[in-house]
């Protein structure tokens, strides 16, 4: 009897995605553009954080790919804040991948942009598994979610270069241990840069915006 041919689909899909992701990174490096993949749970404040960031960096040209299973409200919010935006519907998929990023780049247009944010689909599992082609990965953790999220969802923190701990204006309301949270993140990823911010009040944003400006300058060299 002839042997049945077995195709490892998952392996093939990941390999193809890695190739596409490397191409995107090469293009962004050549064009001296910083691309940041933003991951988080729903309700962590991704869009609000991006809006305050865009307004704080009004002298830079910023683009945002808004990625959702459905709806387009976030893309309009980003555009009103002063950035170029495009809404990407993932067709039921719970994450972005490099192929989707490339399509978003083509449709939105990359000309003249200093920073491009990918606002990934809101969850802490699937987005961490797929390389979007971004040069920098970032996770937003909000205080109401609890300081135990790094222990429960380690992969997203392992792959993140930046962690923004948002909604610190609510620290007095929730049982959130800042030191323990930082410890958990650093155990998973010692190199992660961690910022405590409030996208509502603006607390902590001076340091965050300075960091981003330095990153932009780094990518323009």
pLDDT per position as a tens digit, 138-168: 999 999 999 999 999 999 999 999 999 999 9
Confidence of residue 6 (pLDDT cuts 50, 70, 90): very low
Higher-confidence residue: 34 or 7? 34
pLDDT at 98 over 90: yes
26-41: per-residue pLDDT in tens?
A: 999 999 999 999 999 9
Task: Categorize the per-residue pLDDT at 187 as very low, low, confident or very high, splitting at 50, 70 and 90.
Answer: very high
Per-residue pLDDT band for 3 (boundaries 50, 70, 90) equals: low
pTM of the model: 0.92
Query: pLDDT at position 118, please?
Result: 97
- The pLDDT of 176-184, averaged and rounded, is 98
Cα separation, 22 vs 54, in Å, equals 27
The answer on pLDDT for 72 being more than 80 is no
**Average pLDDT rounded to a whole number, residues 72-86:** 91
């Amino acid at each position: 009897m002839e042997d049945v041919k077995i195709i490892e689909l998952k392996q093939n899909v990941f390999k193809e995605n890695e190739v596409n992701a490397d191409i995107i990174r090469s293009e962004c490096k050549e064009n001296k553009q910083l691309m940041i993949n933003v991951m988080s749970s729903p309700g962590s404040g991704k869009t609000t954080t991006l809006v305050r960031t865009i307004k704080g960096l009004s002298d830079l040209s910023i683009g945002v790919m808004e990625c959702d299973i459905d709806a387009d409200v976030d893309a309009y919010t980003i555009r009103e804040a002063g950035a170029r935006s495009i809404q990407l519907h993932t067709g039921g998929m719970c994450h972005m991948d490099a192929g989707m990023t490339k399509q978003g780049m083509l449709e939105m247009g990359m000309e003249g942009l200093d920073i491009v944010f990918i606002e990934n689909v809101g969850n802490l599992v699937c987005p961490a598994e797929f390389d979007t082609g971004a040069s920098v990965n970032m996770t937003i953790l909000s205080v109401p979610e609890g300081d135990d999220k790094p222990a429960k969802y380690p992969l997203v923190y392992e792959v993140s270069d930046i962690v923004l701990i948002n909604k610190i204006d609510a620290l007095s309301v929730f049982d959130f241990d800042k030191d323990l949270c930082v410890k958990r993140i650093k155990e998973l990823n010692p190199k992660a840069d961690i910022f405590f911010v409030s996208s509502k009040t603006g607390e902590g944003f001076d340091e965050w915006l300075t960091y981003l400006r330095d990153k932009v300058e780094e990518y323009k060299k």
